Amino acid sequence: MRSAFKTTVLLGALTGLIMLIGGLLGGHGGVEVAFVVALAMNFFSYWFSDKMVLRAYGARPLDESNAPELYSIVHELAQDARIPMPRLYLIDSDTPNAFATGRNPNHAAVAVTRGIMRLCTREELKGVLSHELSHVLNRDILVSSIAATLAAVVMMLGSWMRWAAIFGGLGGRDDEGRGGLELIVMAILAPLAATLIQLAISRTREFAADASGARLSHHPLYLANALRKLEMANERMPMIDATPATAHLFIVNPLRAGMFSRLFSTHPPLEERIRRLERMAV
């Protein structure tokens, strides 16, 4: 409930940012156009993102015959969660990682890398897969799509504000001698604020998936132990094919770590994630 409330507040902040920009631009017409365009883009992403991302990573289907242990774990978890058995995929990468996608439990897919199958024990895999199924149960794909839609609107409006400032602003605020400056400031700050809010939403959903995943597996330390292994392995050997656009899907950040990337990471600090899981185990 706490994470759901925080997510709602952050989505409200994005909406408020859009309304503020609309006021600066002198009306709601442009905001409505930007919203419709962003909504159309993310509607397509929401319905087809699973196929797109699986194709992007060259994932191939798995079944009980060629991945009996993985199938057994996911089947058990799906039964406990009372959802249909999700589709399973393998990504041919030695970097250990995993992600789930799909707009709802009836259209879910779980992808694992070859590396995670080699690195993690059965118990640790159960912790990881519980986390991934929790993303599906929590409708996180829908939440991230809504956040992406609102953030995209802000980005579009920020671009419009830059052009408006160059060509003298929109509406009558420049007559007072300050509209152009306001547009320039907002054009710089609004996209940054939207990005930070979207990252905060992603991190909140990661914490929520950790918690609900730990409850689903009944052993919080399964996931905590797996996270330690995955973080060390990904720092040593980042996934070559990973992109910033899809990094948020993975259970740990697949990109090379650095001060800047940590600041704008879609994942919360590993130490805090493990600390929360260890508290659940007490």
pLDDT tens for the chain, 282 residues: list them. 565 566 667 666 666 666 666 656 655 566 666 667 666 766 776 677 778 889 989 999 999 999 999 999 999 999 999 999 999 999 999 999 999 988 789 989 999 999 999 999 999 999 999 999 999 998 887 677 666 666 666 766 677 666 666 665 544 444 444 456 666 766 677 777 777 777 877 888 899 999 999 999 999 999 999 999 999 999 899 998 888 778 888 999 888 765 455 556 778 999 999 999 999 998
Residue 245: per-residue pLDDT: 72
Boundaries of domain holding 6: 2-281
Known catalytic membership, residue 235: no
| Domains contained in the chain, number | 1
Q: At what angle do helices 68-81 and 179-217 cross, to 10 degrees?
A: 100
Integer-rounded Cα Rg, in Å, for the chain is: 21
pTM over 0.95: no
Which is catalytic among the residues 64, 69, 132, 176? 132
Q: Return all residues near 20 (Cβ < 8 A) that are at least 6 apart.
A: 186
Sort residue 139 into left (φ over 0), alpha (ψ -120 to 50) or beta: left
What is the reported pLDDT for 176?
47
How many Cα atoms occupy the beta-carbon half-sphere of 241 within 13 Å? 16
Long-range contacts formed by 238-246: CB under 8 A, 24+ apart: 238/95, 239/93, 239/95, 239/97, 239/113, 240/93, 240/95, 241/56, 241/57, 241/58, 241/93, 243/56, 246/53, 246/56, 246/57
Are 143 and 201 in contact by the 8 Å Cβ rule? The answer is yes
pLDDT of residue 4: 59
Q: Give me the pLDDT at residue 24, please.
A: 61
Q: Phi and psi (nearest 5°) for 43?
A: -65, -45
pLDDT of 198 reads 74
pLDDT at 275: 97
Bridge partners of 100, per DSSP, are 110
- The residue among 214, 196, 210, 261 whose CA lies nearest residue 234 is 261
Residue of 198, 282, 248, 218 lying closest to 53 (CA atoms): 248
